[in-house]
Amino acid sequence: MSDTPTKTPTGDRIIVGVDGSDSSKEALREGARLAQALDAPLEAISCWHDPTLYAATNRTIPELKPEAFHADSQRMLENTLEEVFGQDRPVQLSTRLLHGRPAELLVEESKNARMLVLGRRGVGGVLGMVLGSVSSALVAHAHCPVLIVRH
């Protein structure tokens, strides 16, 4: 896993945004089905933020350093893959952990993707929101088709 975009991403890849939520797990399952049916590479991408962004969102001052947020995000991604696939991971599966705001990073990644698959709602958001803020942004701004998966 790396914090840099793929140097030569393929335009036929199926990208799944993963945040550890039940919705993103279902999106990962659906993305894997699509990738298999289309014989396309599957890429699970997770994004992490600095503690300062966390503090602004949650109105608390975290004691964790950016390195801890990065490590937690890596664990979350690995745990999500383990829960969804176990030992039977798709052959063409790759993963990346990117630093920054998920909507912005995934819009950029969508320039070189066949499809972007997301859960309807992630770990953040406002109670009662029908579609999460990242999903809403990607539906409006992605450069490829976007599939929103209901959990």
We report the CATH number of the domain holding residue 117 as 3.40.50.620
Q: Is residue 6 part of a domain?
A: no
Q: How confident is the model at residue 131 (pLDDT cuts 50, 70, 90)?
A: low
Is the residue at 140 inside a domain? no
Residue 145 lies in a domain: no
DSSP notation for the chain: --SS--SS--TTPEEEE--SSHHHHHHHHHHHHHHHHHT--EEEEEEE--HHHHHHHHTS-----HHHHHHHHHHHHHHHHHHHHTT---TTEEEEEEES-HHHHHHHHGGG-SEEEEESS-SSS-TT-SS-HHHHHHHHH-SS-EEEEP-
Average pLDDT, the chain: 82
Answering whether pTM is above 0.85, one says no
> Has residue 120 been placed in a domain?
yes
Domain-located, residue 134: no
> Within a domain: residue 138?
no
Least confident among 8-22, 32-46, 82-96:
8-22
Q: Is residue 91 part of a domain?
A: yes
- The count of structural domains within the chain is 1
By percentage, how much of the chain surpasses pLDDT 90? Answer: 54
Query: Is residue 101 scored above 60 in pLDDT?
Result: yes
Q: Provide the domain limits for residue 19.
A: 14-129
pLDDT tens-digit map of 134-151: 887 888 889 999 999 987
| Residue 121 placed within a domain | yes
